[in-house]
Structure 1
Amino acid sequence: MRDIRAAIKDPDITNLGIVVDADDSAESTWQSVRAALEKTGCANLPTQPEPNGLILQPSSSLPYLQKRIGVWIMPDNQSPRAIEDLFLQLISEENYHLQRAKAVVAELIAEGQNLFSKTSSNKAETHTWLAWQEEPGKSMGLAIKSNWLNTEHPLAARFADWFSRLFDLEG
């Protein structure tokens, strides 16, 4: 969280987007981010994560808080887990390769042959699916740019809306 405080105090940053994985709990992750924000002088922060992402408008007399600050807790500001869970939701459930990736990961876990922790099964499913695409090895970001995912999914739309509002982008 030191990085958050340093970024907030950086005079060259005018808009700051903080995107973190919820891991075990969106609420406890929010409490950590909230504490870091409060240490920099941010006030009147909500007690719970905002479902559509938080955007703080510049409102302080402190010069370094004259910036817009946004917080998004992956995957959806409410659920535990990580960015990979958002990514997996953008793939059609009927997608054969996604079904197979999930099945293979589940089989490895059931057989005790997984080298990854069970809590990282989402990461294993994501990267297995990516490895089975026409261009194996692409990152999640490049997969989105390549239109491999449903970017019209409601969760993708919520994230894109938050991002656009934070950085003053036009639709």
Structure 2
Amino acid sequence: MTDQRILLVEGESDKDFCQQLICTLKLYVTIEPETPRSLCQQAESDGVDVLRTIALPLALTRLSKKQITHLAVIVDADSSVQGYGFIKRRAQITTLLEQYGYIITELQSSISQGEIFSHTKAGIPSVGLWIMPTHSIDGMLEDLLLDNLGNPTQQSLLSKADTAINELGDLRTFKDTHLSKARLSTLLAWQKKPGTSAGKAYQAGVFNTDSAALTAFTLWLQAVFQ
């Protein structure tokens, strides 16, 4: 069996950040498909619905045929206000995994370490699951990054970004559920290289890679793919 290590993500920003992290950890992993939208041309954007209805079922079928050796899924919890949140998002993904023969354990106190589910049949690889931001609360990738900035300068920049956003008034057009995206985009627009991506910002030390939350995420990635 060819050694194929596959990571499924929701969209471009997730891919960019995870690709940089994977390179830093020296893990041999392919983000496949490039984004969920590449599987569904009718989709207006990338997102968890395309991932869980198309990309993940395809990957699980390949896994059962031993065409894949390692598989992990990263999705955003999003907000309970949107009708989602950590508990519902986990249920959406684990229900599908269970249909493919995976053993779904009950939520544990150490859930913020991510999860890895075993199959009922010996020889079929496990599947890793991480729900952003911390595999325990509502939110998204941007919340994980914003909560783990690397130094006081970045904290000050974020404070200025928050002030600018709050002063938009009627000029603000994005939804409340996209506030974290707006905050991170503004912060990254004010870096040494304006508009740098989250992945390059990670490499440049914008985020505290030694924080408990980012350490837990990297340890989960290593546990799935090493």
Q: Scaled by the length of structure 1, what TM-score is found?
A: 0.87
1:30–1:48: 8 Å Cα contact kept in structure 2? Answer: no
Q: Give the unaligned 5+ runs of structure 2.
A: 1-51, 80-84
Q: Give the unaligned 5+ runs of structure 1.
A: none
Question: What is the match of residue 46 of structure 1?
Answer: 105
Superimposed CA distance per residue, residues 85-136 of structure 1 (whole angstroms, 9 cap, x where no aligned partner): 001012157422111112212222xx23211101111000000000100011
Task: Say yes or no: does 1:121 pair with 2:172.
Answer: no
Of 24-33 and 3-12, deviating more is 3-12
> Counterpart of 1:60 in 2: which secondary structure?
coil
Q: Distance in 2 between matches of 1:57 and 1:47?
A: 13
Query: RMSD over aligned Cα, in angstroms?
Result: 1.8
Question: What is the match of residue 146 of structure 1?
Answer: 204
Alignment of 1:128-167 (within 5 A): 128-167=186-225
Of 9, 13, 33, the residue aligned with 2:93 is 33
Question: What is the match of residue 20 of structure 1?
Answer: 75
Of 165, 177, 201, the residue aligned with 1:105 is 165
State, as a whole percentage, how many aligned pairs show the same letter.
28
Q: Scaled by the length of structure 2, what TM-score is found?
A: 0.67
The aligned amino acid for 2:191 is Q
Aligned length: 162
1:93–1:99: 8 Å Cα contact kept in structure 2? Answer: no
Q: Distance in 2 between matches of 1:13 and 1:138?
A: 33
Question: What is the match of residue 149 of structure 2?
Answer: 91
